[in-house]
Chains A and B, each alone.
Chain A
């Protein structure tokens, strides 16, 4: 398929006699080199239904959804210069949801899909590699899967899907638009923008690791209107409020270290969905981040101060031009002929160095807010709960993610360490704001 030279970086799909294949998007391109079975890069969205999952119907729904999202039904292959995604010619099957989430799934292993669907009892979970998509793309797939599952059970959605409020839920009979798998970063490459200022190394929590293959998830449910009221009272958004709570917890951990840490910055990464700034229908990765940072050499800050500072830091950075500088740096790198001409085995080494320098070493943790989960009214009564679980990280050890569902705000902490101190400090701070918090840890109950 001939591709216009100016569009070569944007369109990821190509077809040859072996079938379709896709380039990785600009954010995903680094992931294969830095993921393994533990730091799997898999984030997870899970829902609990009002009855046990019918495995046969789930597999049928999964086949239909994978057929509608062919650009997700792929596995990773090595080229001479780049990784690429090879179209799978079979339908995926759901796996039992046993053991820890987002573990023991290495996309670098031959024939491994870039996502997996798991189910157990009433629960359906989808785990997506960040090499393939971000939370928005993963959620679109999950919603389509759930709606299709219920359609096979004879439950009507009760609203028109594929448009309006439910435009990210695709009727399975429709054909994918080529914009769904375009590289949004390359589409909105701003040209020669000054690159962002370098970030200092951030402090990381040090604590004994859980045995390999274990990833603990602590989930908390809060009353969404109450959290909204608290945020409004302070004239900040929920994400800003939670970012400040996270900084507050990290600050307490930093000062509780017996020896003064060498790295005196604590930093929380807040992922930003770029679809709010730049027009695209892509379901591939299209998010970047803002860092909330505090210098601990200046002394501990009170919580109110942290909230204000988180608010202003977010407001300053959360604008298209600031974000475009990150796009210019990242997308510009993969456009550079010298970079492109480097063989993949050398790129892998460089990617690991870059990831260490520009990636997780500059953040102490992240909290990703996926926003509100909207499902058609016919489906809503059949769902008991939802959760969005962050991808595991061997550098930051513990991270958090947030999703809103009906009147609940669900915060999930995923951790590779025995220590629950960060989670404890985080939720105790929320309690100190008179917010009711209901906490569960599946590991303790199973």
Chain B
């Protein structure tokens, strides 16, 4: 059988070697080699040095990574809080404007602690996450010297929003078949939050409720949500639309 003189592989009746293109010696005795020599001596320089770095990434579990992220965040925030407080005392002789960024750092830190450090089944995690926003808003009210906007407007809106979001999350979790109904729950949640925001703003500003923009938003969203619920529980269940909207 004919062999490629350069590659040394058997090439059958092919006119040229499939690998290097050299002519089949059976068809032309004086085959020209266009197969450059390839062996280890081609790269003498590369074989000498061993100065490259090989920094292998440390193998960490998800929790370990989270813990490191939390620790880095804690140290960075501590440095920032100390620096801001010292500058504020140095310039103004007391803690004044620095209280706002410092309270914001505390807010983010508490949230990070709840999410990164506490277990998913820990009740304290959810209590901290829920109370973090209202407490931050109250703190801001305290620093501005007027607690009323925080107590009567910001805290009710944040608590109401959290309750609605929790309700949507529970509905999603308990849905036996998930599909367009999830989108519907989210739309209903958005409509409720809009209504809640305008209600609390009205009560705070005018002492009475007079729904305007939020009612229009809700009127637009709720029928869409109802249509999606109808599609999900009635149409998609009994026709092949289920395959189209399978989540």
Please give the residue numbers on chain A whose beta carbons come within 8 Å of chain B beta carbons, in ascending order.
Answer: 5, 14, 16-18, 21, 23, 77, 79-82, 84, 86, 192, 194-195, 197-198, 218, 220, 252, 255-256, 264, 295-300, 302-303, 337, 340-341, 420, 423-425, 427-428, 431-432, 436-441, 444-445
Contact = CB atoms under 8 A, between A and B. Distances in A.
A17 B240 contact: yes
Contacts of B35: 424
Contacts of B4: 439
A444 B18 contact: yes
Interface in B1-37: 1, 4, 7-21, 35
B43 A255 contact: yes
B247 interface: yes
Interface of B: 1, 4, 7-21, 35, 38-40, 42-43, 46-50, 52-54, 57, 59-62, 172, 176, 178-180, 182-183, 239-240, 242-247
5 contacts: A14-B243, A252-B38, A256-B42, A300-B40, A424-B19
A79 B179 CA distance: 11
Contact of A439 (B9, B15, B43, B179): B9
A195 B62 contact: yes
Nearest to A434: B8
B16 A5 contact: no
B57 A16 contact: no
Nearest to B58: A197
Nearest to B179: A81
Given A300-B46, A437-B9, A445-B15, 6 more contacts: A21-B243, A252-B42, A264-B52, A300-B40, A302-B40, A337-B178
Given A16-B240, A298-B50, A300-B43, A439 B246 contact: no
B46 A337 contact: no
B46 A16 contact: no
Contacts of A77: 243
A427 B172 contact: no
Given A427-B9, A437-B10, A16 B243 contact: yes
Nearest to B10: A438
B9 A431 contact: yes
A298 B54 contact: yes
B10 A436 contact: yes
User: Which secondary structure dominates chain B's binding surface?
Assistant: loop
A434 to B, nearest CB: 10
Contacts of B1: 438
Contacts of B60: 194
Given A18-B240, A218-B19, A194 B61 contact: yes
A444 B14 contact: yes
Given A80-B244, A420-B20, A440-B14, A299 B38 contact: no
B6 to A, nearest CB: 9
Given A198-B57, A297-B52, A427-B9, A79 B245 contact: yes
Contacts of B244: 79-80
Nearest to A5: B176
A440 B59 CA distance: 45
Contacts of A194: 59-62
A122 B18 CA distance: 22
Contacts of B40: 300, 302-303
Given A5-B176, A300-B43, A295 B18 contact: no
Contacts of B8: 428, 431, 437
A16 B14 contact: no
Nearest to B7: A428
Nearest to A430: B9
B67 to A, nearest CB: 13
Contacts of A420: 18-21
A331 to B, nearest CB: 16
Contacts of B180: 80
A17 B242 CA distance: 11
A423 B12 contact: no
A255 B38 CA distance: 11
A18 B244 CA distance: 12
A432 B8 CA distance: 9
